[in-house]
Amino acid sequence: MRTFLETADIPTETTWIKSGRSGAAGHCVQVAAVGGGVALRHSKAPEHGAFLFTPQEMSSFVHGAKDGEFDFLLGQ
């Protein structure tokens, strides 16, 4: 599976979602189901493309985040 998608390679009908915790300032990333994987992009710069992960990779990341494995990156 490719790991990066140029904007032109992302289907125009793709539905992007973001966390409800993003707030009005736009500090967020968006995710979408694309080609059997999970795409991740910055909401303020969608023209820069998206990273593409397998469902298994995204599952591992989400579970790690829920478990607090990355809290040190936030100064916590």
Q: Give CA–CA dist 73/63, Å, rounded.
A: 16
pLDDT at residue number 76: 67
pLDDT attached to residue 27: 75
pLDDT along the chain (76 residues), means of 10: 91 94 82 96 94 97 96 88
| Residue 73 dihedral angles phi and psi, to the nearest 5° | -70, -20
Residue 32 CB-density burial (10 A; 0-12 exposed, 13-18 middle, 19+ buried):
middle
Residue spans of the domains in the chain: they are: 4-12+28-74
CA triple 34-15-10, angle to 5 deg: 45
